[in-house]
Amino acid sequence: MDPTNIYADPRTKQVADDFTIDQNWQDYTAEQHETWDILYKRQLECLPGLACDEFMNGLNALDLGAGGIPDFDKINVKLKKLTGWTVVAVPCLVPDDVFFEHLANRRFPAGNFIRKREQLEYIQEPDVFHDVFGHVPMLTDPVFADYMEAYGKGGMRSLGFDRLKALASLYWYTVEFGLINTSKGMRIYGAGIVSSRSESVFSLKARSPNRIHFDLERLMRSDYKIDDFQATYFVISSFEELFRATVDTDFGPLYERLNPCFDYTATGVLESDRVYNRGTQEYGRAGGRKRGVKPV
Ligand code: PHE
Ligand code: CO
């Protein structure tokens, strides 16, 4: 316990070493529950036909649309039975080592706060809607659940290599912004996309972004956007492909050969890329979100 810790629970001014706090479910206001309901309804209107089946099935299995911000204890009864994962509440983003250790033990740290009404369209800091609606359904899929645990273990190991940015890029382009090419067509599985109405449409339909087949090392060498829609989305063929490519690769030699900075920009297409769509990049070129550019 460190009472000066900036991550401290505002109510107790204390935070545990693993940064977990009580969700304090009983303290959410009616307005906060309603914010969840509004966001949930909006996503359910657009996600069928865009999000992959694993995500949609997970949403149903966990009953996340029962009304209001879900109680983590109730989610955990179901989730634990399905894949052994649990959701734990944290007050905000947690340090890398803490994050990795949670994942390695099949615990997903979720922010317990919800965004303000004026942030319905976009927030940079992950709130309970992004964390729970976006991430938790995929944890009901056995292969994806194993991938997330392996990622946590890989993260703990990576701390000895000083190549955290490359590993973060892998998370970003898969867990947060991944697309999957299914027999029904291209679909979303990334949590950062499914929790955003505008990016759900942009990622699959817009002319602007590149859509390129997943390649582990290429992706770990690529920069990404943290404050706007992605300029490139990487596409897997199956969760098995993602799991095997990452688990069967020893990242040790890979970290050794990586440069300390990214080799590729977020927008570029390489000759070696397997390209589904070469984007126009017109959205980013026009200035993106900060200029209020229409997503195209
Ligand atoms: N195979 C990686 C390593 O050797 C660990 C890892 C697995 C990382 C799955 C990400 C996802 O470090
Ligand atoms: Co996230």
The tens-digit pLDDT sequence of the chain (296 residues) is 343 444 555 555 567 899 999 999 999 999 999 999 999 999 999 999 999 999 999 999 999 999 999 999 999 999 999 999 999 999 989 999 999 999 999 999 999 999 999 999 888 889 999 999 999 999 999 999 999 999 999 999 999 999 999 999 999 999 999 999 999 999 999 999 999 999 999 999 999 999 999 999 999 999 999 999 999 999 999 999 999 999 999 999 999 999 999 999 999 999 999 999 999 999 999 999 999 999 98
For the whole model, what pTM was predicted? 0.94
Domain, as residue range, for 32 = 14-291
Check residue 16 and give its pLDDT: 87
Closest to 68 in 3D by CA, of 14, 115, 25, 130: 25
Check residue 7 and give its pLDDT: 52
How many domains, in total, are found in the chain? Answer: 1
Asked whether residue 8 is domain-assigned, the answer is: no
Q: Which residue has the tokens 């000759």?
A: 271
With a 6 Å cutoff on the Cβ, whether 152 touches ligand 1 is: no
Q: Which residue has the tokens 């309603």?
A: 34
Q: Atom 1 (ligand 1): residue with closest C-alpha?
A: 247
Q: CA dihedral in degrees (266, 55, 22, 109; nearest 10)?
A: -40
Q: Atom 5 (ligand 1): residue with closest C-alpha?
A: 154
Work out the percent of the chain whose per-residue pLDDT is above 70.
Answer: 95
Q: Which two tokens stand for residue 270?
A: 């390489």
Q: Is there a contact between 206 and 283 (Cβ–Cβ < 8 Å)?
A: yes
Check residue 3 and give its pLDDT: 39
Q: How far apart are CA 5 and CA 45, in angstroms?
A: 41
Asked whether residue 177 is domain-assigned, the answer is: yes
Check residue 124 and give its pLDDT: 82
Q: Which two tokens stand for residue 34?
A: 């309603």
Distances (CA, A) of 56 to 2, 132, 149: 40, 13, 21
Tell me the pLDDT tens digit for each residue of 235-247: 999 999 999 999 9
Asked whether residue 9 is domain-assigned, the answer is: no
User: How deeply is 277 buried, as exposed, middle or buried, from its count of CB atoms within 10 A (0-12, 13-18, 19+)?
Assistant: middle
Q: Locate the ligand 1 atom nearest the alpha carbon of residue 249 and give its number.
A: 1
Q: Is there a contact between 59 and 75 (Cβ–Cβ < 8 Å)?
A: no
With a 6 Å cutoff on the Cβ, whether 157 touches ligand 1 is: yes
With a 6 Å cutoff on the Cβ, whether 247 touches ligand 1 is: yes
Asked whether residue 215 is domain-assigned, the answer is: yes
Asked whether residue 4 is domain-assigned, the answer is: no
Distances (CA, A) of 185 to 55, 197, 276: 15, 19, 12
Asked whether residue 5 is domain-assigned, the answer is: no
Asked whether residue 72 is domain-assigned, the answer is: yes
With a 6 Å cutoff on the Cβ, whether 249 touches ligand 1 is: yes
Judged by its nearest atom, the ligand closest to the C-alpha of residue 167 is 1
Q: Atom 3 (ligand 1): residue with closest C-alpha?
A: 251
Amino acid letter for position 117: R
CB within 8 Å of 160: residues ≥ 6 apart? none
With a 6 Å cutoff on the Cβ, whether 19 touches ligand 1 is: no
CATH number at residue 190: 1.10.800.10
With a 6 Å cutoff on the Cβ, whether 93 touches ligand 1 is: no
Check residue 1 and give its pLDDT: 36
Q: Cα(230) to centroid of ligand 2, in Å?
A: 14
Q: How far apart are CA 220 and CA 189, in angstroms?
A: 19
The H-assigned helical ranges of 85-231 are 96-104, 128, 142-158, 164-171, 191-194, 197-205, 216-220
Asked whether residue 254 is domain-assigned, the answer is: yes
Burial 132-169 (b: 16+ CB within 10 A, else e): bbbbbbbbbbebbbbbbbebbebbbbbeeeebebbbbb
